[in-house]
Amino acid sequence: MSKSNRPAMDVGCPACNATVSAPVPPGPGIVEENESNRLQGSETVCRNCGHELELYYY
């Protein structure tokens, strides 16, 4: 799956308050039967100020 097909989430940059759009990595989500729900991570950079953001999803 290419990055362009992944849904994106908009978050605010903590350094300059610009909106940063980051792709959401694929994952199972939170599954009640699975006790080892693991976070998936993603990194992106603010295009406005260059601040590096680390985002985590289930």
Domain map (residue ranges) of the chain: 3-57
How far is the CA of 49 from the CAs of 4, 18, 55, in angstroms?
Answer: 23, 8, 17
CA dist., res. 2 & res. 20, Å (int): 19
Query: What is the per-residue pLDDT for 45?
Result: 94
Q: What is the pLDDT along the chain (58 residues), one digit of tens a residue?
A: 444 566 888 999 999 999 999 887 776 666 666 666 677 788 899 999 999 999 887 7
Q: Are strands 19-23 and 52-57 parallel, antiparallel or unpaired?
A: unpaired
Query: What is the per-residue pLDDT for 7?
Result: 80
- pTM more than 0.85: no
Q: Which residue has the tokens 């603010």?
A: 46
CB burial class (10 A; 0-12, 13-18, 19+) of residue 36?
A: exposed
